[in-house]
A and B are shown apart, each in its own frame.
Chain A
Amino acid sequence: MAAKVSFEDLKVGDEIPARSKVVRREEVKAYADASGDQNPIHQDEDFAKMVGLPGIIAHGMFTMAHLTSTLTSWLGDPAALTAVDVQFRALVEMDETIEAGGTVSELDPGTRTAKLDVWVRLERGGVTQYPIKSSTAEVRLG
């Protein structure tokens, strides 16, 4: 399948379409069941507080899934996503709105490959937090 994005469309500095979603407790529970990661910090409010967290937090991989979904939705073809490398830097609490996005950082016409700086961010108490930052993705276009 051809990607919706062509290499010639891209310029360094271009932003990919950002996508937001609200993180709901029932989704995080469903993610625990689907992924097999049943750590109680993602399900049990009392346990999470006992280990020093503000409350239940989302799995890092749940947040990463929103980022890769945002990338493949933009690309139109998952095969065009050739690499992703993320750093988890902040917590995501229940009912917070996470936003995923990225910027084209490098273009290699020889391999028709683009590198992106990618992130997931949220607003908490008037401050922008980055659950995913200093992270990259690589896409190869036809």
Chain B
Amino acid sequence: MPLNASLIGRTYGQIDYTVERDAVNRFVDAIGEQDPIYRDPDAAKAAGYAEQVAPPTFITVIQIMTSGQVVLDQELGLDYSRVVHGEQAYRYERPLVVGDVITATPRLADIVTKRSNEFLTITSEVHDANGDLVLTTRSTLISRGTGGA
């Protein structure tokens, strides 16, 4: 069944998140990152950062919560077992560091049908405690076989 395209433009609830050292350490270990600025606060400070730096894709840890709201929206009619991650884009104003207190507000930006698949685009802007933009994210999820054609 096709997705509910009348939801295009819907904004979902704001997610609040604090970048904790333990979470960064677990992420850095999992991806096998060896650069000391992601592992050692002193190395990061020596490189001019306020604190240990979070890797560029660390923000994925809050996408479970941001995109998750869209995916679970009953009105959308998405069957998550049909979903694959098609595309992921980030635009950075600065790297995240340990201690950053951030907010992210997801938006269902678009639903496009291509052949039998539907492509959902979810965007969010991530701001820090000063209200400054840190990065923007854009995720495209593919709902396989729901496009009808």
Residue numbers of A with Cβ under 8 A of B are 1, 21, 27, 30-31, 33-37, 51, 60-62, 64-66, 68-69, 71-73, 77-79, 81-88
With A30-B30, A36-B61, A36-B64 already in contact, the answer to whether A65 and B55 are too (CB < 8 A) is yes
Contact of A1 among B49, B61, B88, B91 (CB under 8 A): B49
Identity of the chain B residue whose Cβ is nearest the Cβ of A135 in the assembled complex: B87
Within 8 A of A (CB), among B76-102: 81, 84-92, 94-95
Q: Is the interface of B mostly helix, strand, loop or mixed?
A: mixed
A-B contact pairs, 14 of them (CB 8 A): A1-B37, A34-B29, A60-B85, A61-B88, A66-B31, A66-B32, A68-B55, A69-B55, A78-B55, A79-B92, A79-B95, A83-B92, A84-B56, A85-B88
Chain A residues with CB under 8 Å of B47's CB are 1, 77
A62 and B31 in contact, given A78-B56, A83-B90 (Cβ under 8 angstroms): yes
Contact present for A88 and B88 (CB under 8 Å): yes
How many chain B residues touch A (CB < 8 A): the figure is 33
Q: How far is the CB of B71 from chain A (nearest CB, A)?
A: 11
Of the candidates A1, A30, A82, the one whose C-beta lies within 8 Å of that of B92 is A82
Interface string of B19-54 (1 = CB under 8 A from A): 000010011011111010100000000011100010
